[in-house]
A and B are shown apart, each in its own frame.
Chain A
Amino acid sequence: DTAVSQTPKYLVTQMGNDKSIKCEQNLGHDTMYWYKQDSKKFLKIMFSYNNKELIINETVPNRFSPKSPDKAHLNLHINSLELGDSAVYFCASSQDGGFYYGYTFGSGTRLTVV
């Protein structure tokens, strides 16, 4: 069983389209996150959800919207995709804010906007 699973693994789409990435965790963790990894491999947090409540919202464009139907799922919806959105997006979860037990990451979704 995969602890944190996200789909799709690869996503190629045209500028202006709307797309979603799904994430599910079966670890029973309280908090889930979305991270963006750029071409230089730098990881930057986008959102986190704790008990269906957004607790971190970094300065990301409002074209990005997280949606959490329940504690085990955190989906990422992106409107009006732009070339600069091309990156690898990682879903993650933690049981203590990640401070000691760390984050468990999914295997990533490589988004390419053409």
Chain B
Amino acid sequence: TQLLEQSPQFLSIQEGENLTVYCNSSSVFSSLQWYRQEPGEGPVLLVTVVTGGEVKKLKRLTFQFGDARKDSSLHITAAQPGDTGLYLCAANTGNQFYFGTGTSLTVIP
């Protein structure tokens, strides 16, 4: 069992659809981050959330940190082919940093 479970593991949608990716844990975190990884590249930081209930928007991406700081969601509006990639949540508890199990998103033109 991984500390950070993401769902779904795989997601294939048509261009223009909306989607939500979840990152869940039973642990409380000081901060939580979302990364996107494209094929052949390393993960790139999208956002950091630190306050329970916090919502951050990055263009068509909306990130929310759960009130209890145990979970997070990433919502993409009107997905585009350029959104295709592996989405990873990551969080720290104390001085340990963990990555989630990942969600592989494919947006079909």
Asked whether A43 lies within 8 Å of B99 as measured between CB atoms, the reply is: yes
**Residue B30 is within 8 A (CB to CB) of chain A in the complex:** yes
A111-B2 Cα distance, complex, nearest whole Å: 24
Asked whether B31 lies within 8 Å of A45 as measured between CB atoms, the reply is: no
Choose from B48, B86, B101 the contact partner of A100 (Cβ within 8 Å).
B48
The number of A-B residue pairs with CB atoms under 8 Å apart is 54
Asked whether A43 lies within 8 Å of B40 as measured between CB atoms, the reply is: no
Choose from B45, B48, B90, B104 the contact partner of A41 (Cβ within 8 Å).
B104
- Tell me what chain A mostly uses at the interface: helix, strand, loop, or mixed: loop
**Residue B92 is within 8 A (CB to CB) of chain A in the complex:** yes
Query: For B30, what are the chain A residues with a Cβ–Cβ distance below 8 Å?
Result: 99
**Residue A92 is within 8 A (CB to CB) of chain B in the complex:** yes
Asked whether A45 lies within 8 Å of B42 as measured between CB atoms, the reply is: no
Asked whether A105 lies within 8 Å of B43 as measured between CB atoms, the reply is: yes
**Residue A102 is within 8 A (CB to CB) of chain B in the complex:** yes
Q: How far apart are B72's CB and chain A's nearest CB, in angstroms?
A: 14
Q: Which residue on B lies nearest to A33, using beta carbons? A: B97
Given contacts A42-B102, A43-B88, A45-B97, contact A107 B40 (CB under 8 A): yes
| A interface residues, Cβ below 8 angstroms from B | 4, 40-45, 90, 92, 97-108
Q: How far apart are A36's CB and chain B's nearest CB, in angstroms?
A: 11
Query: For A40, what are the chain B residues with a Cβ–Cβ distance below 8 Å?
Result: 101-102
A106-B99 Cα distance, complex, nearest whole Å: 16
Q: Give a binary string over B27-52; 1 marks a CB under 8 Å from any A CB, 0 the rest.
A: 00011010101001111110010100
Asked whether B92 lies within 8 Å of A98 as measured between CB atoms, the reply is: yes
